[in-house]
Amino acid sequence: MPRERNGRSGFPEPSTGPARQAGSSAPPARSGDGRMTENRIVRLEPTAPRSASAPAPAARVHDGQLTEYDYSNFYWGTGEDPFVILQPFREWYDQAHQWGYYQFGQPLQTAPRTTVDVVEAKGRQRLEGLINFASYNYLGLSYRPEVIAAAQEALAVYGLGASGSPILSGTFDLHEQLSEELADFKGTERALLFPTGFAANLGAIAGLMRPGDYVIADQYAHASIVDGIVLSKATPRFFRHNDMNDLEKKLRRCDGKKLVVVEGVYSMDGDIADLPAIVELCKRYEARLLVDEAHSAFLFGEKGRGVVEHFGLEGQVDIQMGTFSKSLGGIGGYIAASRSLISYLRGFARSYVFSCAMPPAIAAGLRESLRLCRQEPELRARLWENVELLQGLLRGAGIDVGNSQSQVIPIFVRDDQRIFRLGEELLHAGVFLQPIRYPAVSKHQSRFRISVSAAHSKEELERGAEIISQVLGRHSS
């Protein structure tokens, strides 16, 4: 049981914030279809009461424990039983949920358009017409009619799932077509499809690197990169974020096989890797390079191939990883690389070999997304106009967006407690924006993260920026 910190038994009521009540006037928002709507609040039926067999309600947690504790306080449990940590965690979490953690995983009731309806998990209200700054749908492709039609057609032919590992019965003609089209788009010899982007990083890193080797990653590397390193049992080295001197220092000290891993656009900060310098260092120190293009593929570069194209470095990066869950609006991941690397990973990437292939209908939808991405460069042009507009509005209002150079725009709060209060107010003021807290970022680095889409209208961006600046303004000291 985590020890009581301050000895007080009082416990604050969950933060209420100036939430608007049902029927109160709300600021107008534009719908994802471009219609002007009122965002409004609909009260839902309360959740079912606890059944008699359900565990008893947890004991009250003290206020210090509630607001200062986080997941790190519940990593280790004492004794012999791995379940010993569950009860104290639940005691804390039941109240922490109401206090703010409820903001994670609130269900959407609409497609991830530029406005969405969300079930607010604390008061069980449906909040309608919220400006959506939280979805990765950077090109608005997940709900394009052409994409839906392609997926529906394949669904009718192939059914729901692939029903097999890709090396056994799970590869369909649609998968082969998608991987060929993707390799052609990326300009690499081959591409290997994975069920998720997470699985792609895990499979590529652990499939290639061995105990005694070194994996040198940016300190802000995504969890799937970190877990890939852990799984590989190679020696990890983390260099300071985008700090080339530190990368060089680490490379100089590693005597053995080396893989450097960076992200094209950093997922929580929106800044871009200094790829020309990284490529140069990798050549000098004979290290291989993996670039995770989860947030940059299909967006950066004249053809949309990613930051590798953006910097004119095609042919100089050994492994390009990416996901289908962001710009293409589907699910899945890929490794684009040489024919020899791909055929090796086909045997050694365990998250590829021992996991079911992505559903064929998803592959069909992704082929259509990729076709639209190639045929409509205006989508990228619109995205970059939107990014420029929103970044300008936020920076102009004095909001700290860090060093963002992309559609990923952090709004730094750096207060792990206040972020929940702000999140609640933003939600009720008409903006769907997720708080990002430890363990997704370091402690005291809490932020909101905006995802801009090509589909956002100018009015949505202006209205969203206005709401954010009003809510943050109320809390600035």
Ligand X SMILES: Cc1ncc(COP(=O)(O)O)c(C=O)c1O
Contact 300, 310 (CB under 8 A): yes
Q: Which stretch binds ligand X (CB under 6 A): 146-154, 191-199, 340-348, 451-459?
A: 191-199
Tokens of 317: 């990066």
Which x/- pattern, by CB under 6 A, does the window 288-307 give for ligand X?
A: ----x-x-------------
Residue 232: Cβ-neighbour burial (10 angstroms; 0-12, 13-18, 19+): buried
| Active-site residue, from 122, 258, 310, 326 | 326
Tokens of 326: 């962001």
With respect to ligand X, which residue has the nearer C-beta, 387 or 429? 387
SS3 category, 470:
helix
With respect to ligand X, which residue has the nearer C-beta, 333 or 423? 333
Contact 372, 142 (CB under 8 A): no
Q: How far is the CB of 222 from ligand X (least distance, A)?
A: 4
- For 23, 40, 106, the CA distances from 43, given in Å and listed in that order, are 10, 10, 15
Spatial separation of the C-alpha atoms in residues 57 and 36, rounded to whole Å: 44
Q: Which stretch binds ligand X (CB under 6 A): 170-178, 183-191, 195-203, 340-348?
A: 195-203
Spatial separation of the C-alpha atoms in residues 15 and 12, rounded to whole Å: 8
**Of 100, 112, 203, 333, the one binding ligand X by CB under 6 A:** 333
**Of 91, 120, 128, 263, the one binding ligand X by CB under 6 A:** 263
Asked if 224 touches ligand X (CB under 6 A), the answer is yes
Q: How far is the CB of 294 from ligand X (least distance, A)?
A: 4
With respect to ligand X, which residue has the nearer C-beta, 269 or 416? 269
Which residues, other chains included, contact 365 with Cβ-Cβ below 8 Å and sequence gap of 6+? 147, 148, 150, 151, 154, 330
| Active-site residue, from 267, 351, 355, 451 | 267
Query: What phi and psi values does residue 270 have, to the nearest 5 degrees?
Result: 75, 10
With respect to ligand X, which residue has the nearer C-beta, 31 or 325? 325
| Active-site residue, from 62, 258, 295, 428 | 295
Query: What phi and psi values does residue 323 have, to the nearest 5 degrees?
Result: -125, 160
- Say how many residues touch ligand X, by CB under 6 A: 13
Asked if 267 touches ligand X (CB under 6 A), the answer is yes
With respect to ligand X, which residue has the nearer C-beta, 263 or 425? 263
Contact 279, 310 (CB under 8 A): no
Contact 455, 113 (CB under 8 A): yes
Tokens of 279: 């490529």
**Of 325, 391, 406, 451, the one binding ligand X by CB under 6 A:** 325
Asked if 171 touches ligand X (CB under 6 A), the answer is no
Asked if 198 touches ligand X (CB under 6 A), the answer is yes
With respect to ligand X, which residue has the nearer C-beta, 96 or 289? 289
**Of 39, 95, 201, 434, the one binding ligand X by CB under 6 A:** 201
Of 136, 227, 153, 172, residue with least CA distance to 358: 172
Asked if 138 touches ligand X (CB under 6 A), the answer is no
Asked if 93 touches ligand X (CB under 6 A), the answer is no
Tokens of 115: 């406005």
SS3 category, 388:
helix
Q: How far is the CB of 293 from ligand X (least distance, A)?
A: 8
Asked if 323 touches ligand X (CB under 6 A), the answer is yes
CB-based closest residue to ligand X: 197
SS3 category, 246:
helix
326 catalytic, yes or no? yes
Q: How far is the CB of 351 from ligand X (least distance, A)?
A: 10
Render 71-128 in DSSP notation, one character per residue.
GGGGS---SS-GGGGHHHHHHHHHHHHHHTGGGTTPPBSS-S-SEEEEEETTTTEEEE
With respect to ligand X, which residue has the nearer C-beta, 19 or 182? 182
Asked if 100 touches ligand X (CB under 6 A), the answer is no
Asked if 202 touches ligand X (CB under 6 A), the answer is no
Q: Which stretch binds ligand X (CB under 6 A): 44-52, 124-132, 192-200, 237-245?
A: 192-200
Of 216, 298, 201, 202, residue with least CA distance to 251: 216
Of 38, 39, 152, residue with least CA distance to 427: 39
Asked if 29 touches ligand X (CB under 6 A), the answer is no
Of 204, 205, 190, residue with least CA distance to 339: 190
The catalytic site residues sit at 267, 295, 326
Name the residues that contact ligand X, by CB under 6 A.
196-198, 201, 222, 224, 263, 267, 292, 294, 323, 325, 333
